Structure 1
Amino acid sequence: MWDLGRDTDRGRAAVAVLLRRDPAVAVGMLFRSGPEAWIAFDEEVRHDCSRPGGAPRSKRIEARLCDPDGRVRESALSAWRRPPPQLVVIRCADWVPAVRSRARRVLGRIVAENPVAALITLAPLILRLGRREHGAWALEQLEAAVSGRYSLLAAWWRPGRPSTTWSPNSLTGEQRDAVLNHLSLGADLPARRFAARLTAAGGRTGVRELAARAREERDQVTSRIWADAALAAMAAGGPDDAAIDDLLAGRLPMVRAGGVTALRAAGRAAEAVEHLADRSGTVRACARWLVRQGGDDPYAVSRALVEDPARVTPYAVTGFAECAGPADAPLLHALLEHPAGAVRAAAVGGLRLLEAADHELLRPLLDDPMPAVAREVSLGLRPGAGRLPAAWLLARTAPERPVHTRRAAYRLLYAQGGVAWLRAAVELQADGDPGLRRLAAQHIQGLWPAKGPMCLPARDPEVGALLDRCTGLATDHARRWMRSQLGIPRVECGMSGY
């Protein structure tokens, strides 16, 4: 996938190289970059040539096509037989009508020489320019060409008057497929989504191929397009077991959820129990629905999974908690001693989901060697953090404790508020863990301006001393404001005041 920030920087850097040093190097930089580089190059040339003291105007075609003067841009399109096609595409969205018209005719000649290669190269740039005021034209032509609605090349020769009949210059079905396949497998995300949408709408792709693409796709939008198309094809032509298996093996939750829902029409509803312990809550919910449609009780099946030591998994515990009730808390309590840390963490999360977290039972787990367990315990204890002994929490923020224990204990101290929290936050400013330092600093800086009652006691000298140690985190004005809000006098130059 293109790095947008790096491409933009490359485009701007290419201007300096083109106008002041080596034009060939600048052109090479652009052709090795993505569409953002060309857009940035166009903007930077126009800016550099317009400002006082800028570089002298170059006679290079790349610079002339981006010149601030529309007459220069139009003449560059007329004089050169092979201008860079990327800059010609940008000029097709030019704000000067004469430049737009000429650029569209030039682009028609460029595309006619090698339509497949040209469209593959220019599609990412066309998709980005489609958001401009005059950029929709090229996008409409591109979509019409690869979908086979009318002749792209004939339309570009006569801008604004698309041909509705077949032309000898039209793209063949094989050419359209080649363009869409290349874009759908490429690195550019907008191009992949564009190609997936047109391919799925074309109706010429088999259901198994649609499902296979949905299975492998990592982008959520694109995978949803493929999965929806596969499900629609099965709804129209009947279920396909191989396609359903591909959907069930998808990387993304929405793909697997579609596969689960397709099991019913395929007469495979009994397989839904295998997905009650999926890592995605969406898939688990679809599986519970399908189990109910089959006449079984998803609660009973989920409980059986949790009670079986050979089949219990973290996601099975989470799935059970999603359909359990407070009366099932003892079963989750028993899992707090499970040898697998992930299962213990899931049990703590399940108790929090059931609002059945027992403070006395969870407190020892704050020292659990598994970071996920300590994190879940911190979340479970946070609503009643005020009942926890501050000294007990402070002891767990000591440097000799594991980092995940210290972080969980500090978050509970922050939920408590008060002097103990401020004391820990100030001490952590010299801590060796950058994450804890940053977290504590953010909390201290959040004291000003306070959006509600301050979490610190009023008229406490220790609070004043701790605030004085926060010189690098709050301005003098902020610390004076906090002192005045808390009623703590400030001693300065032998005089006291607020």
Structure 2
Amino acid sequence: MADNPEPRRTQLSEPLARFQDALRSITAHRRAPLAAAHHIDRVGSPADIRVALGLLAEHPSVVLRMEEAARPDYVHPTRPLERSASVAALPVGGSLTLALSSLHADGRIRAQTVRPLLERLRQDPPQLGLVAFLVLRTTDWVPEVRDAARAALVLVLQEAPDGLVEAAAQVAVLLSRRKRGGFAGQQARAALLARPGAAHLERLLGSPDHLLRQFALQVAVSGGRCTTERLAALARDDADRRVRELAAEAAVREAVWADRLDLVRRLAADRHPEVRAAAVTGLLRAGRTADAARFFDDLSPEVRAVAHEAVGRVGGDVPAHYRTAVREARPTPGAILGLADFRDRTDAAGLTELLSHPHADVRAAALRALRQLRAVPAESARLLLGDPSRRVVREAVRVVPAEAELLSHPRGQVRAAALRALLSLGAVPGESVLPFLRDPSRSVVRVAARSLSPGARAPFLGERPGLIRRELSDRP
């Protein structure tokens, strides 16, 4: 659910073109979509209105932005409707008029929109562009509006026409952190579980929105709608860390219960640390202690922690294992970092010797381990600012005092690493990053460009268009 939807590349009428321009600029001009929607409602054709509602159905986050624009004082104390006031009239019009009226500042008008919204959602086919507007009203601060909208939502979800439950779930996820936002999520979850099969959940699991995928996965797991193979595939391939973590935990749990340790071992070799951690935990719970202990030199501290438990269960001395491992001709970075997990500063001397190791990954790991022990020799770290490895330079910058002074270092990789470190600490305001777009080093330009919004870096595209665009597209 993108905040700035891409417009459809078709011949557009003036009202619809204005509406799509407003959707693109919603981040900078939050009131623009609301004003453009009112414009379509006044002068647009029925076809324009159908397209506009379709866009809102695809991007329900825009509806939430429109409500915030309609009522800037959104956070409001709960209060009943004032019975003594004259009854406000609901504007007469089509579906877009109804949708906009449901965002009205007057609670009496919002209350009058609930039944018409329900009726239009019960049509065949339902007007899915109105789903977000009804679900939004289930969080209304006025009890009469809220209760009516909740009753209407329950009715709509019970009938569950194709696409409506998924549309409601999409909005419910957006509202989940809002006050009184839990109701819609509970109803969407129940409606999804009430439908047979898993096709509807698979559609949600294919959503580009990671929060919706998380929600769908939780529903699928709780209802037993995902096979172990499907869970394992999500753990391996999904772009979102939390989805991978949830999927891996569920897949491992099912695999251990079914004694499918081959699948657990495959997940234990995955490239994602959260997946490996779940799988190694599964090996330990399945009684495969020796298998779990083999991961003591994993790069992930979460995985190493599970392996420490496994080594301890077989009576091993974990720090002794690590001390032996780092004395090998080429110790693994995971073993070096694992030694630092125990925060024993007496190990600093052995780790310092590794700063001159011929392999860059060993030198970088040793620097990081010494940083964890707070035992980095300052002079050694400064010398490593000249290391040929970019990875080592990044670690050296993190431990050399006065990182800000390194922003003027003669070596571009050092300046880039210093800028990256300071940005991660929030120590460089956005406007202070702009001059680094003129730095002669491509590494510095890459770090600076990726830290800025498109609007902030736009003026510099005229000066160095090819370089900045190239650094934004290249992988770090």
TM class, shorter-chain normalised?
0.5 to 0.7
Matched residues in 1 for 2:248 and 2:436: separation? 51
Q: How far is the alpha carbon of 1:34 from its aligned partner?
A: 1.6
Q: Secondary structure at the match of 1:284?
A: helix
Matched residues in 1 for 2:244 and 2:360: separation? 33
Matched residues in 2 for 1:223 and 1:407: separation? 31
Q: Does the 8 A contact of 1:46 with 1:66 survive in 2? A: no
- Cα 1:430–1:146 change in 2 (3 A) is closer
Which of 387, 403, 406 matches 2:412? Answer: 403
User: For 1:199-223, what per-residue CA distance to the aligned partner results, in whole angstroms no more than 9, with x for missing partners?
Assistant: 2222454445434433333434333
Does residue 1:124 correspond to 2:170, yes or no? yes
Q: How far is the alpha carbon of 1:4 from its aligned partner?
A: 2.7
Does residue 1:181 correspond to 2:202, yes or no? yes
Q: How far is the alpha carbon of 1:124 from its aligned partner?
A: 0.2
Q: Secondary structure at the match of 1:115?
A: coil
Which of 303, 319, 322 matches 1:299? Answer: 319
Unpaired segments ≥5 residues, structure 2: 6-22, 27-31, 73-90, 422-431, 448-476
Q: Does the 8 A contact of 1:275 with 1:284 survive in 2? A: yes
- Cα 1:123–1:294 change in 2 (3 A) is same
1:155-194 correspondence to structure 2 within 5 Å: 171=195, 173-174=196-197, 177-194=198-215
Residue in 1 that maps onto 2:93: 59
Residue type of the partner of 2:3?
L
- Cα 1:366–1:75 change in 2 (3 A) is closer
Which of 268, 288, 308 matches 1:268? Answer: 288
- Cα 1:245–1:46 change in 2 (3 A) is same
User: For 1:163-189, what per-residue CA distance to the aligned partner results, in whole angstroms no more than 9, with x for missing partners?
Assistant: xxxxxxxx3x22xx2222222232233
Q: Does the 8 A contact of 2:63 with 2:132 survive in 1? A: no
Residue in 1 that maps onto 2:305: 285
Residue type of the partner of 1:318?
L
User: For 1:20-53, what per-residue CA distance to the aligned partner results, in whole angstroms no more than 9, with x for missing partners?
Assistant: 5534345424424321123344566789xxxxxx
Residue in 1 that maps onto 2:2: 3
Q: How far is the alpha carbon of 1:327 from its aligned partner?
A: 4.2
Q: How far is the alpha carbon of 1:224 from its aligned partner?
A: 3.5
Which of 101, 105, 113 matches 1:73? Answer: 113
Q: How far is the alpha carbon of 1:258 from its aligned partner?
A: 2.0
Matched residues in 1 for 2:287 and 2:254: separation? 17
Q: Secondary structure at the match of 1:65?
A: helix
Matched residues in 2 for 1:111 and 1:410: separation? 55
- Cα 1:40–1:121 change in 2 (3 A) is same
Q: Secondary structure at the match of 2:163?
A: helix
Matched residues in 1 for 2:354 and 2:42: separation? 70
Identity %: 29
Q: Secondary structure at the match of 1:3?
A: coil
1:137-156 correspondence to structure 2 within 5 Å: 137-148=183-194
- Cα 1:76–1:351 change in 2 (3 A) is closer
Taking only aligned residues, the RMSD between alpha carbons, in angstroms, comes to 4.4
Residue type of the partner of 2:169?
A
Q: How far is the alpha carbon of 1:269 from its aligned partner?
A: 2.6
Residue in 2 that maps onto 1:53: none
Residue in 2 that maps onto 1:364: 383
Q: Does the 8 A contact of 2:255 with 2:261 survive in 1? A: no
Larger Rg: 1 or 2? Answer: 1
Residue in 2 that maps onto 1:458: none
Q: How far is the alpha carbon of 1:130 from its aligned partner?
A: 5.5
Residue type of the partner of 2:41?
L
Matched residues in 1 for 2:176 and 2:132: separation? 11
Q: Secondary structure at the match of 2:341?
A: helix
1:92-491 correspondence to structure 2 within 5 Å: 93=137, 97=144, 101=148, 108=155, 112=159, 115-129=161-175, 137-148=183-194, 171=195, 173-174=196-197, 177-203=198-224, 205-233=226-254, 237=257, 239-250=259-270, 252-309=272-329, 312-323=331-342, 325-382=344-401, 401-406=410-415, 432-433=438-439
Matched residues in 2 for 1:42 and 1:398: separation? 47
Matched residues in 2 for 1:116 and 1:109: separation? 11
Q: Does the 8 A contact of 2:157 with 2:165 survive in 1? A: no
Q: Does the 8 A contact of 2:158 with 2:191 survive in 1? A: no
Q: Secondary structure at the match of 2:200?
A: helix
Residue type of the partner of 2:326?
V
Q: Secondary structure at the match of 2:100?
A: coil
- Cα 1:407–1:75 change in 2 (3 A) is closer
Matched residues in 1 for 2:183 and 2:389: separation? 57
Q: Does the 8 A contact of 2:99 with 2:133 survive in 1? A: no
Residue type of the partner of 1:39?
L
- Cα 1:429–1:79 change in 2 (3 A) is closer
Matched residues in 1 for 2:365 and 2:285: separation? 33
Matched residues in 2 for 1:360 and 1:293: separation? 41
Residue type of the partner of 2:265?
D
Q: How far is the alpha carbon of 1:123 from its aligned partner?
A: 1.7
Which of 43, 48, 54 matches 1:31? Answer: 54
1:41-56 correspondence to structure 2 within 5 Å: 41=66
Q: Does the 8 A contact of 2:114 with 2:148 survive in 1? A: no
- Cα 1:317–1:64 change in 2 (3 A) is same
Q: Secondary structure at the match of 1:215?
A: helix
Q: Does the 8 A contact of 1:212 with 1:247 survive in 2? A: no
- Cα 1:25–1:142 change in 2 (3 A) is same
Count, aligned residues: 375
Q: How far is the alpha carbon of 1:61 from its aligned partner?
A: 1.9
Residue in 2 that maps onto 1:448: none
Q: Does the 8 A contact of 2:351 with 2:369 survive in 1? A: yes
Matched residues in 2 for 1:105 and 1:115: separation? 14
Matched residues in 1 for 2:145 and 2:375: separation? 72
Q: Secondary structure at the match of 2:315?
A: coil
Q: Does the 8 A contact of 2:49 with 2:96 survive in 1? A: no
User: For 1:380-408, what per-residue CA distance to the aligned partner results, in whole angstroms no more than 9, with x for missing partners?
Assistant: 343xx7xxxxxxx98x8767x21233577
TM-score (norm 2): 0.63
Q: How far is the alpha carbon of 1:241 from its aligned partner?
A: 0.9
Matched residues in 2 for 1:406 and 1:119: separation? 52
Matched residues in 2 for 1:397 and 1:44: separation? 42
TM-score (norm 1): 0.61
Matched residues in 2 for 1:378 and 1:121: separation? 48
